[in-house]
Amino acid sequence: MSDCLVLNSNGVPVTLLPLSVISWQESIKFMTLNKVEVLKWHTDWVVRSPNWSTPVPSVVMLKEYLKPKEVVRFSRTNLYIRDGGECQYCGLPLDHREATVDHVIPASNGGKTTWANCTIACMKCNVSKGNKHYIFPMSIPHKPSYYELIKKRKQLKFTVKHKEWLQFIE
């Protein structure tokens, strides 16, 4: 499966968390509803129905300005961004796939899955911490603001899925 980069009516990504990316299904839906202009297509991918076929959009631009939502949703990815991609116990940099979510107050002891109780840890630190209450992360877990996440996201490396996106995100 592939994705589609979304640009605002002024030609920039809709948000910076991490990029404005939607599924290929959503891109086709927005295209058929005439809400986007397709700037780039996937050259090797066509979807078909009994009555219709279309190449799959790779980059689309909204026809009307969409104000970004400033609500910060709790997710593993946003937690990773908030913590700068580092284990909050040993400080080692982590690949997004290696990072685990650690509950400061363990879930087995009633700890909730919230911004204030979760942090990113490497597998080794998460396992060695287990359900101990007396081991604390290097920084105090908190709910970040939308703008804090944008600033931290810009500091992290990211991989561009499709080379045709590069001209729009530099």
The answer to whether the predicted template modeling score (pTM) of the entire model surpasses 0.85 is no
Cα atoms found within 13 Å of the Cα of residue 122, Cβ hemisphere only: 11
Please tell me which residue, 129 or 17, carries the higher pLDDT value: 129
Average pLDDT over residues 152-164: 79
Tell whether the model's pLDDT for residue 135 goes beyond 80: yes
**How far is residue 13's CA from residue 170's CA, in Å, rounded to a whole number?**
10
Share above pLDDT 90 across residues of the chain, in percent, rounded to a whole number: 49
* Confidence (pLDDT) at 18: 41
Domains of the chain: 3-65+159-169 (no CATH), 76-142 (1.10.30.50)
N-term to C-term CA, the chain: 24
**What is the pLDDT of the chain when averaged over all its residues?**
86
